[in-house]
Each structure stands twice: as structure tokens, then as C-alpha cells.
């Protein structure tokens, strides 16, 4: 993939007929990596024949070729013969639809008429509401006046599906100064229901463009952060559902720590805005309270619905609209911190550029590390890369990481054993070229939450009444046969997603002798309404341990629980549950990649011996053979060996000295308060540098 950049560069330097012929021939190569590289190389050649070749690829029988062609065409001049096929891809939706829509949006800046006419024409034949809504949404991206009339007609048409009308109404929020638009939106907003809610938000958008509020003067900095694939609230009530994983926990704890009063001197950050997904009604309700101080929450309504991060790319326009609305409503946002190569960061980066907000980006080799793990496991090859890319979008995500890092005012990195080498070889960033633009910041956990959980578990072991959280765990363990009670617990907490390796963990435990030595508690996932990713993992688990055999085998799958409850369950794995579970269990993180590992740190702080991936962040703080064991988690047998070693070592302990060392590791270097103070310095430096770089806007007299 890195060599593809060199191929594109050399192709642009030698854009002759022979180069085009060679690249065109490579499009049909059995090496799918070569075929994709050829598509991108053709996009760098400013030649009509190269452009025609790209247009022809929109009709390829290989989906990944069509997707990459739609992406690459956006960097060139509009091609009228491609408009209809791009609209067709847009109507189909999905990741390819997002790429096609993005290209049409880029083309509409210089050629609005052919794009708008093509979209209007397509509406004559596209009747399915979801596809029709996507075409209408794309029409709303054409900022030319030519798009206003059809949008008004669609928004007012009672015969149209609500999904279609909603797309038109939302798009009208970007048309300030048009009396017909205001009249229609006012009328719709006076009603009730989902369409009225969207109309009110559209009026908010228009008001922000026509009479933007002056940013209020305030002491301290305002930092915005986001993760749109989770339902984030102060209580972390949805932790473990879908994509509500460690990142959601981190944003809540970090936001609280950033605005917490300093003990010695005032902290520079006085307001944090955490953005996540939510309903239209929630989004409207949030807007009124964003000018306050402290840790605030704002929802981004993702139409038509909330999707897992891997399939949410088609929500780019909804995400961008909602992020723009929140940042404008907050007023005076000093820094936007992005952390993921996902649709939220893609949309937020556009908004930050539009509103002139400096960006801090946390750079991690993701998906680079996953690509390497799949390669080592033999599951990703040059011959199937394109097919895997259709689902994982590796190529786009790698390029998105590069773009976000290059455009950020400052980048934050996680510690890794070979950080400089990994960034250079995996991501293509030379940290030594401009070291002042990069800061290594370890993630942190709220040690107070962990310590309270351990104290509760110890009190229960000493004869105290079980707290509600521990009583829940007791009830779960009591479902096991009597013969399995008294065994220690192997615990893992996280999303049910293939990257988290939960199915591999179950396989490693069940198909080795581990199942006879310990029960396995896997916490996470919405078991009542599983997402596609969760369903995939549950099916793989069921293939190893059928649902009716779980209790007999010792497998416990309680689903997700709030973060505070999980903390007490993890602590109980260390202390044991009187009459039900032996003490000195172990914690296992079976992720294919783990950039740092919040849940791992919480487990170590609880005193548990841990098993972790042998690459990425955990390798910087897990001491092999002492506080934990590192493993090639992509290999079930090697993972089982590491778990077996950890369980043997933990059960052999006769005192708490090792547990104290694990706790001390977290206390000394990985608390959320330490992370917040380090980011305080980063944010203050970014704002100061931005102010110094901008020319004075005050004239002389």
C-alpha cells in the first residue's frame, strides 16, 4: 500500500500513452492490491484517456474497483458521462455510495447544473424511499440556486415518504435568505412529529448562517471531542453495546478530568463538549445548554438511523450537519480533538476547516496494525485484499489517517515499544522531522472508580452484604452447575466485534484444558438486539459452545453492563465471590490490536494478572511474566498458552505483592488525571500557536 503512493507519483511524472496502457492492463490483475494501486495511479494522470478509463471502471463487475474509481474521480474534472453511474452508486448506498456522493459534491462546485439535472432526472425512476432519500440528500449538497425549487417541492409533498421529505427539509437548512424556504420550514416546524423536529433544526441552521452569535467571552479553553458510534452519557449506561466500548468510557472520564478544578492552579480547559449520536429530539434539546461551562454533551442525529462504525460511512452528510450545528451552538470552540479514522472524523475535519477550528488528532496505526495481524494470520493476502477491502475499507481508512495527521495542528500518539519505527513503517509519518508537532500521551483510567470497586469486593469477601452489582454477578454465577462453582473467573470486557477477538478467546478457552480450570465471563454486547457485528461473533461463539451447553461448560455471557458495574465484577474476579468463585482469576484482552487498552489498565489497577496483545500499547506497560503475559492474540493456540501461564501464575500467588505492583504501575503513569494534565498543555500550546500564526485583524485607526 505504501508503494502505491510511489506508483502514483511516478505515473504523474510520466503520463504518456505507455503508462496509461500499463496501468489499464493492471486493472484486471489477479493481484487485487495491484489493481487498486493502478486505479489510484490513473487518477494522477491529467489525460483524457486516463479519465475515460476511470469512468469505464464504474461499470466494473468487481465492487472494490467501482468504489475506488468513484473515489479517484473526485480529484479530477467533472465528467458528464460519469454522473448517471455515480448517482446510481449513491442511490445504492453503503460505502461506495458515500464515495460517489462525495465526488458528485466536489463536482457540483464547478459544474452544478449537470449534477443537479442528473439528480432530478434520477428521481423520476428511483422510487424506493431509502434510495430516493439518498438522491435527495445529494441534491441538497448542490449549493447552486438550481437545487432550491426541487427541494422545496419534495419537502412539501405529502405523497413522498417521510424519509424523503426529511432529507429535503434538512438540506433546506443550508439555504439562508430564501423567503420560500423560511415559509415552508416555519409551517412544518409548527407541527408535531419527526418532520417538525427536523424542520426546527433546519431553522436553527439557517439562523446560525444569517446572524451568527458572537462567541461569548469566557475564561479558559473550550475543547470539543466526539465519537458518533456510541450513545454517550455521563453515567456510561450503554457501555459494551455495539460500538460503546473503551473510547466512550475514555471520553466521559477525560472530559470530567479536564474541567475538574486544579489543586495548585486553575486548569486551562473550562469547558468540554462531547458529541455522540442521538435522536433528533435529543439534538434539539441539547442546543440550549451548550454555552455553559463544565463537561457538556451534545447529540448528532444520524439519519436515517445509527449504524456501527464500519457501516456508517453513508451517514457522512448527517454527521457533518449535526457536528456543524453543535459547534456553532457552543460558540468559541478553541480545539477539536479527533481520535478515529471513521466517518465522524471525516465529517468533523470538514467542519473544522469551514469554521477555522484547529484540530488535534490522535494518530494510531489503525487499521495498519489490523492489516498486519490479518496478514500474519494468513487471512489477508494480495489476492483477496480487494474483497476484504469491500467490507473493511482499509485503503480509505489508511489514507484518512494520513490526511488527518497531515492537516492537524498537533498530533497525539500512544506509547509503543517501537513508536518511531511503527509510525514510519506502518503510517508513513517521520516523528523526527517535526518533533514539536507530536506529543506522546498515555491513556488513563479513573483510579477512584477502580479502588471503590475493589473495596466493595473485599468487604463482601470479609462477610459484608453484596452490593447490587456484586449481587447481579452472584446471580449469574449461580446459574452454573454446582461442580463448576468454586473455580476462578477468566474475565474479558469489550465489544462483541471481530477486532476484539471474543470468539477467538472462547475457542482458546473451550478447546484447551482451560475450561476445566476456570469459568469464562465475557462482558459486552447487546444480546437482545445484536448488531451485525455482534451477531457474527455470537454465531462463532455458538459454534464452539452451543447456547444450551454454556452453563455446563462454564461460559457466562451476560451482555453489556454499565461501567461502574463492570468495575465491580472485574474486582470480584480478583477477590473471589464467597461460595461461588475462587479468588485470583485473570483478565484477558484478546484483541487483534489494542492501541492502548483502557479495560486492561482497569484490570491491572484491580490487581488482576492480565493477558494482552504482544504489540501496540499494552507491550509498554505489561511486564512479561510479572504483571501479565503477552501473546499473539490472533493465534488461538498461542493465546491459550498465555492464558494458561497467567492462570497458573495467579493461582500460585501467596500474597498481594504482585497485585500491588500492577496497581502501582497504573497509579504512577496511567491515571485519567495525568492524561488530562498532559492534554491541557497540548491544547494550550495549539491555541497559542494558532493565535500567533494568524495575522492581526485590527487595523490602525
Q: Using CA atoms, how far apart are residues 584 and 568, in angstroms rounded to an integer?
A: 15
Rounded Cα gap, residues 376 and 667, in angstroms: 35
In degrees, to the nearest 5, what angle opens at C-alpha 488 toward C-alphas 482 and 491?
Answer: 115
For the CA atoms of 581, 587, 588, 594, the dihedral, rounded to the nearest 10 degrees, stands at 150
DSSP string, 327-385: HHHH----EEEE--SSHHHHHHHHHHHHHT--EEEEE--TTHHHHHHHHHTTS--TTTH
pLDDT at position 700 is 45
Task: Show the CA angle centred on residue 591, arms to residues 590 and 596, nearest 5°.
Answer: 115
- Average pLDDT on 608-628 reads 94
What are residue 524's phi and psi, to 5 degrees?
145, 160
Taking CA atoms, 531 is separated from 131, 312, 518, 536, 559, in Å, by: 22, 13, 29, 8, 13
| Residue partners of 234: CB distance under 8 A and separation at least 6 | 252, 256, 295, 297
| Angle between helical axes of 502-510 and 532-544 (0-180°, round to 10) | 10
Residues in the chain: 701
| Model pLDDT, residue 363 | 95
> What local confidence, expressed as pLDDT, does residue 215 receive?
63
Beta bridge partners of 577: 581
Say if residue 697's pLDDT is above 70: no
Q: Express as a percent the part of the chain with pLDDT over 90.
A: 82
Give the per-residue pLDDT at 246. Answer: 76
Distance CA 212, CA 307 (A): 32
Give the pLDDT mean for 466-489. 97
Q: What is the pLDDT at residue 492?
A: 98
At residue 485, the pLDDT reads 94
Question: Does 138 have pLDDT greater than 80?
Answer: yes
Contact predicate 148/178, CB 8 Å: yes
Mean pLDDT across the chain? 93
Task: Tell me the domains of the chain and their CATH numbers.
Answer: 2-210 (1.25.10.10), 221-440 (3.40.50.2000), 447-670 (3.40.50.2000)
What's the pLDDT tens digit per position in 250-300? 999 999 999 998 766 778 999 999 999 999 999 999 998 898 899 999 999
Model-wide pTM > 0.85? yes
Cis peptide before 367 (omega within 30 of 0): yes
Answer for the pair 298, 275: CB distance below 8 angstroms, yes or no: yes
Confidence of residue 701 (pLDDT cuts 50, 70, 90): very low
Least Cα distance to 630 among 469, 439, 417, 388 occurs for 417
pLDDT at 211: 75
Give the integer Cα–Cα distance in Å for 514 and 511.
Answer: 8
pLDDT score, position 186: 97
Among 5-14, 66-75, 481-490, 568-577, the minimum mean pLDDT is found in 5-14
Separation of alpha carbons 589 and 604, rounded Å: 12
Q: How far apart are CA 373 and CA 593, in angstroms?
A: 8
DSSP for 638-692, written as a single string = HHHHHHHHHHHHHHT--SSHHHHHHHHHHHHH-BHHHHHHHHHHHHHHHHHHHHH
3-state secondary structure of 447: helix
Asked if residues 303 and 337 have their Cβ atoms less than 8 Å apart, the reply is no
d(CA 120, CA 273): 39
CA 9 to CA 604: how far, in whole Å? 47
Query: DSSP code of 215?
Result: P
Q: What is the pLDDT of residues 418-453, one digit of tens each?
A: 899 989 988 989 999 999 999 999 999 999 999 999
Q: Is 16 exposed, middle or buried (0-12, 13-18, 19+ CB in 10 A)?
A: exposed
Confidence band for 696, pLDDT divided at 50, 70 and 90: low
Q: Which DSSP string do the residues of 558-604 spell out, in sequence order?
A: EE---HHHHHHHHHHHHH-BTTTB-S--EEE---S--SS-HHHHHHH
Give the residue from 249, 232, 252 showing the smallest Cα distance to 599. Answer: 249
pLDDT tens digit sequence for 95-123: 999 999 999 999 999 999 999 999 999 99
Read off φ and ψ for residue 646, nearest 5 degrees.
-65, -45
Question: How confident is the model at residue 372, as a pLDDT?
Answer: 87
> Which helix H or strand E contains 701, and what residues bound it?
none
DSSP state letter for 547: G
From CA 403, how far away is CA 424, in angstroms rounded?
A: 15
Peptide bond into 304 cis (omega under 30): yes
Q: What is the pLDDT of residue 307?
A: 63
Our measurement of the distance from residue 630's CA atom to the centroid of its chain's CA atoms, rounded to an integer in Å, reads 25
Distance CA 608, CA 633 (A): 19
Asked if the model's pLDDT at residue 214 lies above 80, the reply is: no
Per-residue pLDDT tens over the stretch 643-661: 999 999 999 999 999 999 9
User: How far is 17 from 47, CA to CA, in rounded Å?
Assistant: 9
In the predicted model, is pLDDT for residue 629 greater than 70?
Answer: yes
pLDDT digits (tens, 9 = 90+) for 365-396: 888 888 988 898 899 999 999 999 999 999 99
Average pLDDT of the residues in 30-50: 95
Distance of CA 220 to the CA centre of its chain: 28
Measured in degrees and rounded to the nearest 5, phi and psi for residue 557 equal -125, 85
What confidence score (pLDDT) does residue 615 get?
Answer: 80
Measured CA to CA, the distance from residue 335 to residue 411 in angstroms comes to 12
Residue with cell 424556504: 181
pLDDT in tens, 226-240: 999 888 888 766 555
Amino acid at each position: 500500500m505504501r508503494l502505491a503512493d510511489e506508483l502514483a507519483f511516478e505515473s504523474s511524472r510520466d503520463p504518456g500513452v505507455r503508462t496509461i496502457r500499463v496501468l489499464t492492463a493492471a486493472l484486471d490483475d489477479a493481484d487485487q492490491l495491484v489493481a487498486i494501486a493502478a486505479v489510484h495511479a490513473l487518477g494522477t494522470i491529467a489525460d483524457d484517456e486516463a479519465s475515460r478509463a476511470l469512468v469505464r471502471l464504474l461499470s466494473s463487475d468487481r465492487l472494490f474497483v467501482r468504489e475506488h474509481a468513484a473515489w479517484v474521480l473526485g480529484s479530477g474534472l467533472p465528467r458528464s458521462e460519469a454522473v448517471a453511474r455515480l448517482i446510481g452508486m449513491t442511490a445504492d448506498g453503503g460505502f461506495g455510495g458515500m464515495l460517489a456522493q462525495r465526488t458528485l459534491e466536489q463536482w457540483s462546485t464547478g459544474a452544478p447544473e449537470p449534477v443537479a439535472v442528473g439528480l432530478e432526472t434520477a428521481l423520476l425512476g428511483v422510487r424506493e424511499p431509502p434510495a430516493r432519500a439518498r438522491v435527495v440528500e445529494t441534491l441538497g449538497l448542490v449549493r447552486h440556486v438550481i437545487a432550491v425549487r426541487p427541494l422545496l417541492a419534495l419537502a412539501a409533498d405529502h405523497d413522498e415518504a417521510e424519509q424523503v421529505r426529511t432529507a429535503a427539509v434538512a438540506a433546506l437548512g443550508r439555504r439562508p435568505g430564501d423567503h420560500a424556504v423560511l415559509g415552508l420550514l416555519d409551517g412544518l416546524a409548527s407541527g408535531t412529529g419527526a418532520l417538525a423536529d427536523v424542520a426546527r433544526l433546519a431553522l436553527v441552521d439557517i439562523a446560525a448562517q444569517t446572524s451568527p452569535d458572537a462567541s461569548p467571552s469566557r475564561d479558559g479553553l473550550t475543547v470539543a471531542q466526539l465519537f458518533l458510534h456510541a450513545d454517550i452519557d455521563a453515567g456510561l449506561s450503554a457501555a459494551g453495546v455495539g460500538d460503546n466500548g473503551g473510547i466512550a468510557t475514555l471520553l466521559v472520564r477525560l472530559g470530567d478530568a479536564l474541567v475538574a478544578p486544579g489543586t495548585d492552579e486553575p486548569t486551562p480547559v473550562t469547558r468540554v463538549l462531547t458529541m455522540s449520536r442521538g435522536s433528533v429530539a435529543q439534538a434539539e434539546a441539547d442546543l440550549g445548554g451548550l454555552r455553559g461551562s463544565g463537561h457538556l454533551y451534545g447529540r448528532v442525529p444520524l439519519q436515517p438511523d445509527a449504524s456501527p462504525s464500519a457501516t456508517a460511512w453513508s451517514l457522512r452528510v448527517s454527521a457533518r450537519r449535526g457536528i456543524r450545528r453543535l459547534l456553532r451552538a457552543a460558540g468559541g470552540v478553541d480545539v477539536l480533538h479527533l481520535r478515529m479514522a471513521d466517518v465522524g472524523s471525516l465529517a468533523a475535519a470538514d467542519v473544522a476547516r469551514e469554521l477555522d477550528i484547529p484540530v488535534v488528532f490522535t494518530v494510531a496505526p489503525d487499521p495498519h496494525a489490523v492489516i498486519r495481524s490479518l496478514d500474519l494470520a494468513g487471512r489477508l493476502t494480495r489476492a483477496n485484499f480487494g474483497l476484504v477491502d469491500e467490507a473493511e475499507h482499509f485503503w480509505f481508512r489508511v489514507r484518512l489517517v494520513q490526511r488527518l495527521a497531515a492537516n492537524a495542528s498537533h498530533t497525539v500518539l500512544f506509547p509503543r515499544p517501537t513508536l518511531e519505527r511503527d509510525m514510519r513503517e506502518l503510517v508513513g509519518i517521520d516523528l523526527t522531522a517535526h518533533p514539536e508537532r507530536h506529543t506522546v500521551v498515555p491513556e488513563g483510567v479513573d483510579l477512584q472508580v477502580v479502588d471503590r470497586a475493589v473495596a466493595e469486593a473485599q468487604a463482601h469477601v470479609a462477610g459484608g452484604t453484596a452490593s447490587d452489582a456484586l449481587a447481579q454477578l452472584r446471580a449469574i454465577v449461580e446459574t452454573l452447575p454446582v461442580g463448576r462453582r468454586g473455580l476462578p473467573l477468566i474475565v474479558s470486557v469489550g465489544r462483541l466485534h471481530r477486532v476484539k477477538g471474543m470468539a477467538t478467546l472462547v475457542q482458546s478457552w473451550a478447546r484447551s484444558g482451560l475450561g476445566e480450570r476456570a469459568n469464562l465471563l465475557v462482558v459486552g454486547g447487546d444480546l437482545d438486539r445484536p448488531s451485525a457485528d455482534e451477531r457474527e461473533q455470537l454465531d462463532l461463539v455458538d459454534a464452539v459452545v452451543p447456547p444450551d451447553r454454556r452453563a455446563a461448560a462454564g461460559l457466562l455471557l451476560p451482555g453489556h453492563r454499565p461501567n461502574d458495574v463492570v468495575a465491580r465484577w472485574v474486582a470480584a474476579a480478583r477477590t473471589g465471590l464467597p461460595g461461588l468463585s475462587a479468588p485470583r482469576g485473570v483478565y484477558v484482552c484478546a484483541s487483534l490490536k489494542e492501541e492502548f487498552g483502557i479495560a486492561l489498565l482497569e484490570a491491572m489497577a484491580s490487581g488482576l494478572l492480565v493477558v494482552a496483545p504482544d504489540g501496540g500499547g499494552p507491550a509498554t506497560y505489561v511486564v512479561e511474566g510479572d504483571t501479565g503475559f503477552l501473546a499473539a492474540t490472533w493465534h488461538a493456540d498461542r493465546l491459550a498458552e498465555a492464558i494458561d501461564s497467567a492462570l497458573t501464575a495467579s493461582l500460585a500467588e501467596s500474597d498481594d505483592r504482585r497485585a500491588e505492583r500492577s496497581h502501582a504501575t497504573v497509579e504512577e503513569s496511567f491515571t485519567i488525571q495525568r492524561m488530562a494534565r498532559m492534554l491541557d498543555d497540548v491544547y494550550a500550546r495549539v491555541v497559542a500557536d494558532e493565535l500567533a500564526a494568524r495575522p492581526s485583524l485590527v487595523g490602525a485607526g
